[in-house]
């Protein structure tokens, strides 16, 4: 990996195959990791992010991957809550339909808003999953390069601890399909 804009082991985030929205989410994630970390590597990641770069060291990529896992878990929780709300609205509509025609319109509007929010969260989830997968792939590559350098004797004086490569590559299902059955 060559140096990009004076930052070693970094790649321009515009060359990761991400949409503009995904690049913004990646940069936001890098800033969040940097703000939470406070370490030298966190500050380096923050500087790289502000320059439109993604650091390619396994430590930074691992922290970024954990951040996106937490964000995706939060989105899953929101989706589960909204799905439960959707079921409640549906039951309320069926229970009250005979007696409260005016209320049905309000409940239907609420239902449509909930479905719209679910669809937005699904889109956000898919975007973040895409970014997380790219980060994991680059982390894997960075770790492989670090191992190759160590084997070839060119470890470069790295003081990084080894043996903590967490290969969590299983994709989590977010429990809600965007099959379009709720679209109006």
The per-residue pLDDT for range 76-90, each reduced to its tens digit, is 999 999 999 999 988
Whether 184 maps to a domain, the answer reads no
Q: Is the pLDDT of residue 162 over 80?
A: no
Q: Is the pLDDT of residue 49 over 50?
A: yes
Whether 107 maps to a domain, the answer reads yes
Q: Is the pLDDT of residue 133 over 60?
A: yes
Strand 10-12 relative to strand 53-55, pairing: antiparallel
pLDDT of residue 104: 75
Kindly compute the dihedral angle of the four CA atoms of residues 29, 64, 73, 110, in this order, to the nearest 10 degrees.
20
pLDDT of residue 154: 60
Q: Is the dihedral of CA 160, 164, 126, 76 positive or negative?
A: negative
Domain that holds residue 71: 10-151
Q: Is the pTM of this model over 0.75?
A: no
Whether 76 maps to a domain, the answer reads yes
What is the pLDDT averaged over residues 71-76?
A: 95
Whether 163 maps to a domain, the answer reads no
Q: Is the pLDDT of residue 57 over 90?
A: no
Domain count, the chain: 1
What is the pLDDT averaged over residues 60-70?
A: 91
């Amino acid at each position: 990996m060559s140096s990009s804009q004076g930052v070693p082991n970094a790649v321009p985030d515009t060359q990761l195959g991400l949409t503009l929205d995904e690049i913004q989410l990646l940069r936001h994630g890098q800033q969040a990791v940097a703000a939470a970390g406070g370490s030298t590597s966190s500050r380096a990641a923050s500087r790289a992010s502000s320059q439109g770069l993604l650091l390619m060291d396994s430590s930074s990529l691992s922290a970024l991957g954990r951040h996106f896992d937490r964000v995706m878990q939060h989105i899953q929780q929101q989706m589960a809550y909204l799905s439960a709300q959707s079921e409640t609205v549906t039951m309320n509509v069926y229970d009250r339909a005979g007696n409260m025609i005016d209320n049905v319109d309000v409940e239907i509007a609420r239902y449509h808003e909930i479905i719209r929010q679910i669809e937005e969260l699904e889109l956000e989830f898919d975007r973040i999953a895409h970014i997380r997968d790219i980060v994991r792939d680059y982390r894997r590559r960075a770790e492989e390069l670090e191992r190759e350098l160590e084997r070839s004797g060119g470890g470069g004086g790295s003081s990084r601890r080894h043996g903590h490569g967490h290969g969590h590559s299983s994709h989590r299902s977010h429990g809600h399909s965007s099959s379009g059955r709720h679209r109006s």
